A and B are shown apart, each in its own frame.
Chain A
Amino acid sequence: MVEGLEHGQTREWIAVDIYDIECFESWLSDMAEKGCFLEEMGRHLAYFKKGTPRQIRYRIDVLSRKLTEDELALYDACGWHCVTSQKETYLVSTKVRLYIFETDENSTVPELHTDPMDQAESLRQLHQRCIIQTWLGIVFLPLYVGYIMYRMFFGDPTRRFDAIVNGGNYLFYILMILTATIQECIRWCSIRRLRRSLAMGDTMDHHTDYRRARFRYRIIESWRLIFTIFWVAVIISMIVQSDVKNLLPEEQLDFPAVRLQELAELTDMQDLELWEGEQSHEWTGTGVVKDHVYESGFVESGGINLTTNCYHLPFAWESEVVMEGLIAKKETPSYRATPIHTTMVDEAYILETVHAEPHRDTQCQTLLVRQDRYVIEVTYRHGSEDLVLILPLLAERMNTAAQLN
């Protein structure tokens, strides 16, 4: 147990799902026998007041509306004190309220529910909600997974690119929906079993053995907690590892790229004066690492800039999809992609403006290169030098990086 904030109060993880009504009541009674009396309940934690151990009867009443003060007073007059209530909301339709009442075990007050068949009826709405929630998950989950699979394998290239590079949150949603669906299914089975038993005229066992229910609930809640913590860690990692900083001309890069100075040397560019540089590093939730570098400079004819995006993918097959996606994103009727026939890398394309007399301001070339798990996109603006001349140097660096990683 962890000591709570208030004097004499303690809190514990909820051990059993409240929808497992018999087990939940049994658990609360056992807690009372240990001197812990329920005061409040959250989604995951229950707050207990410490006191002298005694035997308490706890009962859960399921209602489709909020009880008025007068109605609660009637419960009290009958010997049942309202401890707390929990409102359940669902994707579809109305809310349900779960009230927790208590009375001394040895008191002679009649049970909260004196007719098992009427009690079975009172659980009908809760039962229906569980069925609906379960079926929504069963129907929606495969549709969602199918939609993601379609985007990744059969969608148009730009969507496939987005799914691979930016699709980390899809996995989170799938796991979340799967966990919720499994829990709703378990709840459905629990409520159905109880209703059938009550409808046959059997009364509830308020001191049932809840160890199995507790084990099952802890598995689900632990799983939910672990993957939530994992996803928070992923997001924090993405934020921490993603940074943008200035790039100095002499600074070395830790990913394959060709610098503007090197382009100038390879193309006999004269009088290059380097201006500003910037680099960034981004790690996505899907494991894709994206490095970016931007450099600008000035030559006699005016300003030029070179932008490099390097995608390092976890799987080799993804590089083909990313390459195809980049071509689809970049290519337009006036900016066409031409394959480069080379054995230096797996695949290479050059995109150039197809105007008859391209103006300097609109001059742009993009070199797309794929090697193993790397895809590099190099864009050169406002310069007339042939960008393909950097391919051998770029290929050498990509091959070195591919061997090291």
Chain B
Amino acid sequence: MATVGPMTEAMYYILLTLMVPSHGYQLMSAVTQASHGRVQMGPGTLYGVLTRLETDELIEIVNDDGRRKTYAITESGRAALRMETARLHAMLDDQEQWKGELKWLKD
């Protein structure tokens, strides 16, 4: 498994939505829904990210009937998602703490 650094938005949302196995079209809709319409993913970005996540073994194909592939997150993918979520939380916490420091200085 490749070492996963900070994820792009597309990677994060795809991993998140693949907690429920989906194929391409479902995935695109799920990402839009999960991001409350904020992330509109182009098909090029979608398949590019899917290919890379599959190569890094963060996702796997659970069904392939020749026409349609269904993807799902792997255990490695879940671990990577947890790490990324923790990183994002840590950044938010740092921001809150820093805002607190600034407020104290002003006072």
A residues less than 8 Å from B67 (CB atoms): 68-70
Is B47 an interface residue when CB atoms closer than 8 A count as contact?
yes
Tell me whether A74 and B49 are in contact (CB under 8 A). Answer: no
Tell me whether B24 and A74 are in contact (CB under 8 A). Answer: yes
Tell me whether B47 and A67 are in contact (CB under 8 A). Answer: yes
Q: Chain B's nearest CB lies how many Å from the CB of A24?
A: 15
Tell me whether A118 and B45 are in contact (CB under 8 A). Answer: yes
Is B43 an interface residue when CB atoms closer than 8 A count as contact?
yes
- Name the contact of B45 in the complex, choosing from A65, A71, A101, A114 (C-beta under 8 A): A114
Q: Chain A's nearest CB lies how many Å from the CB of B21?
A: 15
Chain A 105-151 residues near chain B, CB threshold 8 A: 110-115, 117-119, 121-122
Q: Chain B's nearest CB lies how many Å from the CB of A57?
A: 12
Tell me whether A114 and B42 are in contact (CB under 8 A). Answer: yes
Q: Chain A's nearest CB lies how many Å from the CB of B103?
A: 31
Tell me whether A70 and B51 are in contact (CB under 8 A). Answer: no
Chain A 83-116 residues near chain B, CB threshold 8 A: 101, 110-115
Q: Chain A's nearest CB lies how many Å from the CB of B94?
A: 22
Residues 17-51 of chain B, each 1 if its beta carbon lies under 8 Å from chain A, else 0: 00000011100100000000000111111111101
Tell me whether A80 and B10 are in contact (CB under 8 A). Answer: no
**Identity of the chain B residue whose Cβ is nearest the Cβ of A59 in the assembled complex:** B44
Is A64 an interface residue when CB atoms closer than 8 A count as contact?
yes
Tell me whether B69 and A114 are in contact (CB under 8 A). Answer: no
Tell me whether B47 and A78 are in contact (CB under 8 A). Answer: no
Residues 59-94 of chain B, each 1 if its beta carbon lies under 8 Å from chain A, else 0: 000000011110000000000000000000000000
Q: How far is the CA of A68 from the CA of B51 in the complex (A)?
A: 13
B residues less than 8 Å from A272 (CB atoms): none
Q: How far is the CA of A129 from the CA of B91 in the complex (A)?
A: 37
**Identity of the chain B residue whose Cβ is nearest the Cβ of A124 in the assembled complex:** B52
Tally of B interface residues using CB under 8 Å: 24
A residues less than 8 Å from B41 (CB atoms): 110, 114-115
Tally of A interface residues using CB under 8 Å: 27
Tell me whether A71 and B8 are in contact (CB under 8 A). Answer: no
Is A154 an interface residue when CB atoms closer than 8 A count as contact?
no
Is B9 an interface residue when CB atoms closer than 8 A count as contact?
yes
A residues less than 8 Å from B43 (CB atoms): 71, 74-75, 78, 80, 112
Tell me whether A118 and B8 are in contact (CB under 8 A). Answer: yes
**Identity of the chain B residue whose Cβ is nearest the Cβ of A65 in the assembled complex:** B51
Tell me whether A110 and B42 are in contact (CB under 8 A). Answer: yes
Chain B, interface SS category: helix
A residues less than 8 Å from B51 (CB atoms): 63-65, 122
Is A61 an interface residue when CB atoms closer than 8 A count as contact?
yes
Q: Chain B's nearest CB lies how many Å from the CB of A327?
A: 61
When A61-B44, A74-B43 are in contact, do A121 and B68 touch as well, CB less than 8 Å?
A: no
**Identity of the chain A residue whose Cβ is nearest the Cβ of B24 in the assembled complex:** A74
Q: How far is the CA of A117 from the CA of B10 in the complex (A)?
A: 10
Is B11 an interface residue when CB atoms closer than 8 A count as contact?
yes
Chain A 27-78 residues near chain B, CB threshold 8 A: 59, 61, 63-65, 67-71, 74-75, 77-78
Tell me whether B44 and A119 are in contact (CB under 8 A). Answer: yes
When A70-B23, A121-B52 are in contact, do A115 and B68 touch as well, CB less than 8 Å?
A: no
When A115-B9, A118-B8, A121-B52 are in contact, do A68 and B69 touch as well, CB less than 8 Å?
A: yes
**Identity of the chain A residue whose Cβ is nearest the Cβ of B69 in the assembled complex:** A68
**Identity of the chain A residue whose Cβ is nearest the Cβ of B42 in the assembled complex:** A114
When A64-B51, A70-B23, A110-B40 are in contact, do A119 and B66 touch as well, CB less than 8 Å?
A: no
Q: How far is the CA of A64 from the CA of B68 in the complex (A)?
A: 17
Tell me whether A115 and B24 are in contact (CB under 8 A). Answer: no
**Identity of the chain B residue whose Cβ is nearest the Cβ of A109 in the assembled complex:** B42
**Identity of the chain A residue whose Cβ is nearest the Cβ of B55 in the assembled complex:** A64
**Identity of the chain B residue whose Cβ is nearest the Cβ of A77 in the assembled complex:** B25
**Identity of the chain A residue whose Cβ is nearest the Cβ of B49 in the assembled complex:** A118
When A65-B51, A118-B10 are in contact, do A113 and B44 touch as well, CB less than 8 Å?
A: yes
The residues of A with any CB-CB pair to B shorter than 8 Å are 59, 61, 63-65, 67-71, 74-75, 77-78, 80, 101, 110-115, 117-119, 121-122
Q: Which 3 A-B pairs have the closest CB atoms?
A: A122-B48, A112-B44, A114-B42
* Chain A to chain B contacts (Cβ below 8 Å), 30 pairs: A61-B44, A61-B47, A61-B48, A63-B48, A65-B51, A67-B47, A68-B69, A69-B67, A70-B68, A71-B24, A71-B69, A74-B28, A74-B43, A74-B46, A75-B43, A80-B43, A101-B44, A112-B43, A113-B44, A114-B10, A114-B40, A114-B42, A114-B45, A115-B9, A115-B10, A115-B41, A119-B44, A121-B48, A122-B44, A122-B51
**Given A74-B24, A111-B44, A118-B8, list of 13 further CB < 8 A pairs?**
A61-B44, A65-B51, A69-B67, A71-B47, A78-B43, A111-B42, A112-B42, A113-B42, A114-B10, A114-B42, A118-B11, A121-B52, A122-B48
